[in-house]
Amino acid sequence: GENVEQHPSTLSVQEGDSAVIKCTYSDSASNYFPWYKQELGKRPQLIIDIRSNVGEKKDQRIAVTLNKTAKHFSLHITETQPEDSAVYFCAASINSGGGADGLTFGKGTHLIIQP
């Protein structure tokens, strides 16, 4: 089955600086890569996703890049703000039949924004 590795487990950055979280996946058939943000005591919520026919996607201060050859993808957050503090999860799935079938999640990155 799919295996997703995520690094780092904890990331501390100064407010206003950029943060980068990296993930690798094992199954070359995976073609859907979402990122979720989970605030303390709350549910994971989708913040951005990318499909394997796209190399990069951007939404305001967040962007995701995908390198299919190397089987890795990254989340970039620019101009970080205190409300960005949370745990971020990457995930991968094989969309052989449509839908978010069996997403495999990374272990998460605890992002801390220092004032």
Q: Is 108 in the site for another protein (CB under 8 A)?
A: yes
At residue 48's C-alpha, the angle toward residues 109 and 17, to 5°, is 55
- 13-to-36, 86, 94 alpha-carbon distances in Å: 19, 12, 33
User: Least distance from C-beta 17 to another protein, angstroms?
Assistant: 26
Q: Is 44 in the site for another protein (CB under 8 A)?
A: yes
User: Considering CB under 8 A, how many residues would be counted as binding another protein?
Assistant: 26
Q: Is 103 in the site for another protein (CB under 8 A)?
A: yes
C-alpha span between 18 and 84 (Å, rounded): 11
Closest CA to 36 of 112, 92, 98, 96: 92
Q: Is 85 in the site for another protein (CB under 8 A)?
A: no
Q: Is 42 in the site for another protein (CB under 8 A)?
A: yes
**Region of 19-27, 64-72, 78-86, 99-107 interacting with another protein (CB under 8 A):** 99-107
Q: Is 51 in the site for another protein (CB under 8 A)?
A: yes
Q: Is 27 in the site for another protein (CB under 8 A)?
A: no
C-alpha span between 41 and 85 (Å, rounded): 13
Q: Of 52-81, which residues contact another protein (CB under 8 A)? A: none
- Options 19, 34, 86, 111; binder of another protein; rule CB under 8 A: 34
Token output for 43? 């549910």
Token output for 49? 């996703």
